[in-house]
Structure 1
């Protein structure tokens, strides 16, 4: 019997363990995908820590790059051997008011890759074909993986910033290093906020074209039009409100954040806004991948064998990564994972 290998989490606060499972089958409307690479996202930490809804045991991972092995019935537009990407939003009902009004990211009955359906910390995954993307040829397998969540969520957050010219990115990790390049390409001024004393991250931000880089406790001379918060720290919200101009926006881009402390109404007054980003839509994906290809952005990655998923998560948790971590499935040729 054919089997797949995966790194599975059995319950919150437990380490992932290697398992072998029967090879899954592509059901109606689904693709069976041979995983090549899977990005490691902070949301995977939230799944591991029980901070967001998930079903256990589960295989994490929602920044999946792979090749189509088999195609279920009622699937159109894909062929065996095609390279595809699988993101966080794995399925929607298509019938609720949100789905019918173009806001499928707010679906009342969604499924999420790597949380409520098995994800890409594995050699194989089954995905809803409606939520799979063709990927730009300009990105290698490893370089493309972080685009599927860090890039997509960063893109949705940047779109919520509207026409703002001066953009602050608070928490300079996987998402910020991607969307900083897009914003610079668009002609915006980008200001990067990092952990206290993280001069390496600040130098990295400046190398990507950021106008200014400093600690989250510092304040640039210019007021910002919008501040995008990627760090899951609620205390950064009132701090960000002090950075934006009248009418400016603070956008919380994470799926989970610690509690936001009380702050003076005066910090919100003058039509400042606090917004949150929830999931993504397929239109976010198609528009972002076009921009990613046009802008010439590059993803900075550190690769790990699939069975070192726990190490990759530990390095993400400790802030020891520059850019994004990516797991390589056992069959993959590491040479194919060079940064694009």
Structure 2
């Protein structure tokens, strides 16, 4: 047994289930009040067909008939799958039914279908279903023809949304024909198959998703300080062959990003332009003196190179 959902909770549950929801003006307070046995505790959801055609059947769901005041359900489902909310309280949809069916729904104890009903509205011992079930009226003449796919899918989602909000399984979903021995609805399908579809949706939506595989961070390029110093001290080389070391180009790209080296000099050779650029970076780091052997002479040092690497995404190794 459960406390009925509030209007806001109903709306949120249906939207979360992906339904196309419309709100009839005034639906939140449109109900039968405390007449009869009141509203709640609630135990399940009930599927109906209207027996008529749109739009008149939708108006009947809202306003009722001379012999049955509205609302006649909590929601009305059109052929195109649009769901219109018509009540958040007691509605005249279920009438009297079989208490044995109610107990099977409460316990969710049956296998594929609840016990066959032997009661109906007005019969001795009939139980008031209007107090215990949420009701969905589906626009259908009741000839047994299949519902459009969008309409059927929306009915499954409506039932699943209410069940999910209360923590029920699909065994809390019944058809009007399973509640009253007078009723044929819904005529378009077998309720056991409908419950299977509701349960499949509940299971698919509630299974914990496996954690996403961590996206490895791209490996930072590394620059060898000793190889970089060697390249800086031997370029231009006496032999005429530049010292080839990939780390030089990494450092040059960082210096170019700092605006200290023209991009045309990002060529992998630690020449005069690169030395001047490194000297400018060393001065930014607080070092002074551009003459050979001085702190800002353009020959890489551990501190200034490490700072450059932290800023531009490379690591410094010995």
TM normalised by structure 2 equals 0.24
TM-score (norm 1): 0.22
Give the number of the structure with larger relative contact order, counting CA–CA contacts within 8 Å between residues 6 or more apart: 1
Judging by fraction of residues, say which structure has more helix. Answer: 2
Q: Larger radius of gyration, structure 1 or 2?
A: 2
Which structure is higher in strand share? 1
